Amino acid sequence: MATLNLPQNGKAKYGRTRKSVPAVDLTAMVDLAFLLITFFMLTTSLSKFNAMDVAKPVADATSFAEYPASRTMTVLLGKNNKMAWYMG
């Protein structure tokens, strides 16, 4: 754990006792850190993509319903799998 560096007789040259500085072994803390990282990496579930079914309108010109612009979304599909959308 922690070790104290003391002189052999407990006193320094000049008759005063030295203040000992503890040295802490950090090996256990590093092991615990890697253990926690491994645990959280293995137990975390990755986010899954959610899909939504889209109700497509029937191509019938007689049954056209008016919807307000606040309830509509326009989706534009472009080249190279690009997509843009805006409300209205």
Q: Is residue 20 part of a domain?
A: yes
Q: Is residue 53 part of a domain?
A: no
Predicted local confidence at residue 64, as pLDDT:
65
Predicted local confidence at residue 53, as pLDDT:
84
Residues in the chain with pLDDT values less than 50: none
Q: Is residue 67 part of a domain?
A: no
Q: Is residue 69 part of a domain?
A: no
Predicted local confidence at residue 8, as pLDDT:
60
Q: Is residue 36 part of a domain?
A: yes
Amino acid at position 34, single letter: F
Number of domains in the chain: 1
Q: Is residue 63 part of a domain?
A: no
Predicted local confidence at residue 46, as pLDDT:
72
CA distance 88 to 85: 9
Residue 38 sits in which domain range?
A: 2-43
CA distance 50 to 44: 18
Residue with tokens 């990282």: 37
Amino acid at position 51, single letter: A
Predicted local confidence at residue 69, as pLDDT:
80
Residues 6+ apart with CB under 8 A from 83: 75, 76, 77
Residue with tokens 């293995």: 42
